[in-house]
Amino acid sequence: MALMKEKKPSDKSEGSALSSPITQTAGASGSMNGNNVNIRAREICRRGNFEKSYVELRQLGLLDKEVAVTEKLFKEELGKLYPLSRKDLEMLSVIRLFDSKTFYHSVETYATAKKKIARPLESGSTFLDMLKNEGVSPEQFWRACLFHDIGKVVIPKFLLNSNYTDENWAQAFIQLSKRKAFSLMKKYAINIAPALLDDPETLMEHMIRNRIRGARFVPIKTLFSKKQIKLLESRGFSSNMSLIDIMQKHEKESEKILDFMGYPVEAKIAGSHHNYEIANKNIKKRTCTCSIADKNLASDIIHLADIQEALRSNRPYLAQRPVLKTLAFMVDDARRGLVNCFVAYLWIKDDMQKIDSGYLDLVLHHSEDDPEHGHLKDRKIELNTIQEFLAETEKWLKTPH
**Of residues 306 and 351, the one with the C-beta less far from Fe ion:** 306
Beta bridge partners of 242: 219
CA distance 382 to 197: 24
Out of 149, 255, 333, 351, name the contact with Fe ion by CB under 5 A: 149
The residue type at 311: L
108 near Fe ion, judged by CB under 5 A: no
The residue type at 205: E
Q: Find the shortest distance in angstroms from Cβ 219 to Fe ion.
A: 22
**Of residues 41 and 258, the one with the C-beta less far from Fe ion:** 258
Handedness of CA 377, 211, 288, 115 (dihedral sign): negative
CA distance 240 to 172: 14
333 near Fe ion, judged by CB under 5 A: no
Q: Of 84-92, 131-139, 147-155, 318-326, which part binds Fe ion (CB under 5 A)?
A: 147-155
Q: Find the shortest distance in angstroms from Cβ 106 to Fe ion.
A: 7
φ, ψ of residue 50 to 5 degrees: the values are -60, -50
Q: Find the shortest distance in angstroms from Cβ 273 to Fe ion.
A: 6
- Binding-site string for Fe ion from residue 59 to residue 78, where x marks contact by CB under 5 A and - marks none: --------------------
Q: Of 13-21, 22-30, 92-100, 304-312, which part binds Fe ion (CB under 5 A)?
A: 304-312
3 state DSSP class of 219: strand
Q: Find the shortest distance in angstroms from Cβ 323 to Fe ion.
A: 18
Q: Of 52-60, 91-99, 303-311, 363-371, which part binds Fe ion (CB under 5 A)?
A: 303-311
CA distance 398 to 312: 35
CA distance 12 to 284: 48
3 state DSSP class of 149: coil
Beta bridge partners of 219: 242
Give the other-Cβ count within 10 Å of 30's Cβ: 8
Count of residues in contact with Fe ion, rule CB under 5 A: 2
Out of 253, 306, 332, 382, name the contact with Fe ion by CB under 5 A: 306
**Of residues 272 and 385, the one with the C-beta less far from Fe ion:** 272
Residues that bind Fe ion (CB under 5 A): 149, 306
